Amino acid sequence: MNQKNPVKITETVLRDGHQSLAATRMRIDDMIPLLEQLDDVGYFSLEAWGGATFDSCLRFLGEDPWERLRTLKKHLKKTPIQMLLRGQNVLGYNHYADDVVVEFVKRAVANGVSVIRIFDALNDVRNMEVSIKAAKEAGAHVQGAFVYTISPYHDNESFLKVAKELVERGADSICIKDMAGLLAPYTAYELVSTLKKSLPPHILVDVHTHYTSGMASMTYLKAIEAGADIVDCALSPFAMGSSQPATEALVAALQGQDRDTGIDLDRLFPIADHFRGVKKQLAETFKLNTAIDIDTKVLRFQIPGGMLSNLLNQMKEQGMADKFPEVTEEMPKVRAELGYPPLVTPTSQIVGSMAAFNVMMGRYKVVPREVKDLARGKYGRTPAPIDPAVKELILGDEPLITHRPADDIAPQMDSLRKKLAEEGYPSATTEDVLSYASFPEVALKFFEQHRTKSN
């Protein structure tokens, strides 16, 4: 058996697994009992922070996300802790000033993060430059990610162009981030082959997908055959549905083959048993439906299932659920008119809400501010030009932003510290200031319960 090139696995059970299937409600106490065992498995990394975990800790779980990170680091001595960062958006939904981005990255690494996956919703590398540079300077492994999507403006060459730009800026590895499960097996083979052939040989290629369309395991197998170095998997209780393929299944499928992971299946079973109990408990405690089905409609609408169900709920509340089929028909049209943005936070919400307004009020009669901002260039460069007629309709004479959007944002750290002092927290730590920067109202509520105010 040739084990010179075993497939590496990034385990997502501590972040994306429960974000996808259990509304990001897993607590640190649910993780602690098995952290040492996870640490001994031999993973490339454990994705355990970033994404929606930061917001969920503060908003729903009464946990300090920074304290969670320090606790994870205390128990994980061998395996790198990985986080997901939205470039200039950090972990929020809008761009922050460069000083906030730099400080956040520095503190994340100082508190325990070793691998940072950095992406931008529009694949605009300008929005990733500052976080990549800060992560490199802090000593982290930088994984530059491009968001995978399908449109007349997206192909292997366009993705390779983004990957090369990320490598030029210092990325140590490249991730194909397929958040909606759109990456088909043979397409994955071609895309991974293109990246492996065209990027420097030391650059690792990671494939991240979701099971939403039902293709994910097949996609991984073809990607591995093409030379993918790393794949993202979740232990079986938090796999499948709208999450990743199951770790145990992938390990078993490759046993005895050239790309055998070298991971001992018997180590995984007791860990999976623990998380099976955790999932049941979370479903009961938070009244969650964790049995999420495959939804092949994502192949047509390209909007992840969770976004569609949220939209349906909002329309029900407004007594317009009967219009939902029209909204799903409208979404691809709006996406094309708005320059074919990949549909991931926040662009999926922007396109979805615009489609809903178009159906309910008439096309572009009511235009949310975020849609105008996207059309103006405030989120960055869209993959295709905005439809000229739509741009005229929603922007009129408003000036367009053609430079890096964050260039317009003055430094924020000092003013945030000052505001927090005015709220009664003059001795707030830098981490607390960053929590406040990310989610001001949510952080203040958390501080009221967990910090002592100074008069």
pLDDT tier, 304 (very low <50, low <70, confident <90, very high otherwise): low
* pLDDT (0 to 100) of residue 375: 97
Label the pairing between strands 113-118 and 81-85: parallel
* pLDDT (0 to 100) of residue 106: 98
The yes-or-no verdict on residue 453 having pLDDT over 70 is: yes
pLDDT tier, 300 (very low <50, low <70, confident <90, very high otherwise): confident
The yes-or-no verdict on residue 277 having pLDDT over 70 is: yes
Q: For 307-343, how does the pLDDT look when each residue is reduced to its tens digit (9 = 90+)?
A: 666 777 777 888 888 998 899 889 999 999 999 999 8
The yes-or-no verdict on residue 1 having pLDDT over 60 is: no
Q: For 180-230, how does the pLDDT look when each residue is reduced to its tens digit (9 = 90+)?
A: 999 999 999 999 999 999 999 999 999 999 999 999 999 999 999 999 999
Average pLDDT of the residues in 38-67: 97
* pLDDT (0 to 100) of residue 3: 47
Which tokens is 14 given? 């501590």
Q: For 85-138, how does the pLDDT look when each residue is reduced to its tens digit (9 = 90+)?
A: 999 999 988 999 999 999 999 999 999 999 999 999 999 999 999 999 999 999
Which residue did the predictor score with more confidence, 300 or 339? Answer: 339
Cα gap 188→338, rounded to integer Å: 26
The structure's pTM equals 0.95
* pLDDT (0 to 100) of residue 2: 46
Label the pairing between strands 81-85 and 45-50: parallel
* pLDDT (0 to 100) of residue 210: 95
Q: For 407-425, how does the pLDDT look when each residue is reduced to its tens digit (9 = 90+)?
A: 999 999 999 999 999 999 9
Give me the long-range contacts of 155-162 (CB less than 8 A, separation at least 24).
Answer: 156/190, 156/191, 156/194, 157/194, 158/383, 159/191, 159/194, 159/195, 160/194, 160/195, 160/198, 162/123, 162/125
Provide CB contacts within 8 A for 432, sequence distance 6+. 420, 425, 443, 447, 451
* pLDDT (0 to 100) of residue 309: 67
Q: In angstroms, what CA-CA distances link 21 with 268, 279, 301?
A: 20, 9, 20
> What is the residue-averaged pLDDT of the chain?
94
Label the pairing between strands 141-147 and 45-50: unpaired
pLDDT tier, 455 (very low <50, low <70, confident <90, very high otherwise): low
Q: For 255-273, how does the pLDDT look when each residue is reduced to its tens digit (9 = 90+)?
A: 999 999 999 999 999 999 9
Chain centroid to CA 225: 25
pLDDT tier, 430 (very low <50, low <70, confident <90, very high otherwise): very high
